[in-house]
Amino acid sequence: MRPVAELADKQRIAASFSRHSSTYDTHAAEQLAGSAELVAYAAHYAADIAPGPVLEIGCGTGFLSAELAAIFPDRDLEFTDLSSAMLAHCRERIAAAGRARPTQRYRVLDGDRLDVEGRYALVAANFVVHWFADLAGGLGRMARALQPGGLLLCAYPGVDSYREWREQCLRQGVPCSANLLPDRATVAAALAGVAIEQGQREVRLRFACAREFFGHLQRTGAGISTRGVTSRPGQLRRLIRGWDEHCPDGVDITCHVHYLAARKEG
């Protein structure tokens, strides 16, 4: 049985992304960058992937999904997300691009709890694994879902992302509610049984003020903390005021997008 706290977090995550599904596309610069890297991997390896279905975990509004539909038009494609509203936007994007096929399926799924083995030729996950309650276990389950020779594609914000936020919390003496993010060594260890190719790119964002940065997170659905650390309203106001005073010309934020392709042996 799953812990009550984990279930509550998943419900909060799903609700947040559902509430902000209509503003996601306009603000999801980091997620779009991760998608672009996975699209490049998928196109590069497409001819070498064994026959079989394709699964996307955490499809969101369909940045990656629409491209997978173009790269693999004749395969069974399964698009999943924790948020039903995100799934609806994904379906609409694929239809608007003229890439809808009878072989496509959409369903609500917690990718952290994937429970199949040896089924998929390709599993893709863009900006979702950092939300897993069990990172190593979730990555391992995705790898086990692959057929022998199958390919796992994954992108996520790395451990050094949003460091400016953490630095300002220290400077202003307030708790930092930023979620913990994966590091490459932990991800590689979780995928020890597969051959991994990894890369990284920086996405630099600039905002007029600190409040705009926090609004950016909110409008992608990612503005919730799963750490159990919260800032009281007065602390948040102090953080925003101090950050703006320290950076009067605007707030710079760096996201380190990590991405990988991992092939299951066999």
Instruction: Report the C-alpha dihedral over residues 46, 49, 53, 56, rounded to 10 degrees.
Output: -60
Instruction: Report the C-alpha dihedral over residues 72, 73, 74, 79, rounded to 10 degrees.
Output: 70
Looking at residue 25, its amino acid is: D
Looking at residue 54, its amino acid is: V
Give the pLDDT score at 266: 73
- How many CB atoms neighbour CB 231 within 10 A? 17
Low-confidence ranges of the chain (pLDDT < 70): 1-5
Could you give the CA distance from residue 211 to residue 251 in angstroms, rounded to a whole number? 9
Q: What is the DSSP letter of 159?
A: T
Q: What CATH topology corresponds to 4-159+180-201+256-264? A: Rossmann fold (3.40.50)
For the chain, domain boundaries: 4-159+180-201+256-264
The predicted model scores a pTM of 0.95
Give the pLDDT score at 5: 54
Could you give the CA distance from residue 50 to residue 149 in angstroms, rounded to a whole number? 7
Could you give the CA distance from residue 56 to residue 106 in angstroms, rounded to a whole number? 10
Give the pLDDT score at 108: 98
**With b meaning 16 or more CB within 10 Å and e meaning fewer, what string describes 28-64?**
bebbbbbbbbbbebbeebeeebeebbbbbbbbbbbbb
pLDDT digits (tens, 9 = 90+) for 96-125: 999 999 999 999 999 999 999 999 999 999
The answer to whether residues 211 and 182 touch, using CB atoms and an 8 Å cutoff, is no
pLDDT digits (tens, 9 = 90+) for 29-40: 999 999 999 999
CA 141 to chain centre: 17
151: β partners: 122, 263
- Tally DSSP H helices, then E strands, for the chain: 10, 7
